[in-house]
Amino acid sequence: MTGVPKLVNIVHQCIFCERSLSTPQKLRHHLSSHGCDVPSKVGVGRRINNSSFIYVGTSEPQDLIQKHFGCPFCNIHYEALASLHIHFTTCHPEILARTEIQQPTQDAKLE
């Protein structure tokens, strides 16, 4: 038994500059400006409510809703932007292939 599903609002935020965009399509377009090799078509549909998550818009009362960072290439989402960056590097490395930045901005270290 999983318990009560969490109310989640999916946000679309850049893993490089932390800019927020209104849709996953706009985030994919924005990522291309950072040198990401963004595919022209992505076969991902809408996220569907399930036993773990109920997806809500921002018009709901915010104190009950968790903000999650959604992957614009699949239906995965995370509570932390850094976790989304790790997801990109492990599950979508071909998208990051042309980028020079391989770490989130707050974790970048000079060598």
Contact 94, 69 (CB under 8 A): no
As for how many domains the chain has, the answer is 1
Instruction: Give the domain range for residue 43.
Output: 6-107
CA 83 to chain centre: 9
Burial of 88 (0-12, 13-18, 19+ CB in 10 A): buried
In this predicted model, what pLDDT tens digit does every residue of 52-62 receive, in sequence order?
999 998 766 67
Identity of residue 110: L
By mean pLDDT, which of 42-46, 49-53, 77-81 is the weakest? 42-46
Position 86 scores a pLDDT of 96
User: Is 12 inside any structural domain?
Assistant: yes
CA distance 15 to 98: 15
Q: pTM of this prediction? A: 0.81
* 1 within domain boundaries: no
pLDDT for residue 83 is more than 80: yes
Query: Per the domain annotation, does 65 fall within a domain?
Result: yes
Closest by CA position to 4, among listed 74, 57, 66: 66
